[in-house]
Amino acid sequence: MGHGAGAESRFTIGTVIFFGLLVATMLTLFVVPVFYDMLAKYTKSPEATAKEIEEYEHGQAAARPAG
């Protein structure tokens, strides 16, 4: 491939950059979505959480005596 001064170091740096981009792409396309999907099974939608908070607050207001 390359000849001359610094050819070996350029090849090494190119290899590191190539495999770094490859790993970052695999993480972005496969690992992160799978991890997100695994966590999503244990969470609720924001609407469901807001409804629970609202029901809790209305329960607190009903339990307080007027005064």
Is 2 part of a structural domain of the chain? no
Is 27 part of a structural domain of the chain? yes
Q: Dump pLDDT digits (tens) for 9-66.
A: 899 999 999 999 999 999 999 999 999 999 988 888 889 889 999 988 888 766 666 5
Is 37 part of a structural domain of the chain? yes
> Domain count of the chain?
1
Domain hosting 11: range is 7-63
Whether 12 contacts 6, CB under 8 Å: no
Is 49 part of a structural domain of the chain? yes
Please tell me the distance from the alpha carbon of residue 51 to that of residue 54, in angstroms, as a whole number.
5
Q: Dump pLDDT digits (tens) for 7-22.
A: 888 999 999 999 999 9
Please tell me the distance from the alpha carbon of residue 43 to that of residue 40, in angstroms, as a whole number.
5
Is 1 part of a structural domain of the chain? no
> Is residue 67 over pLDDT 60?
no
pLDDT computed for residue 51 by the predictor:
92
pLDDT computed for residue 22 by the predictor:
97
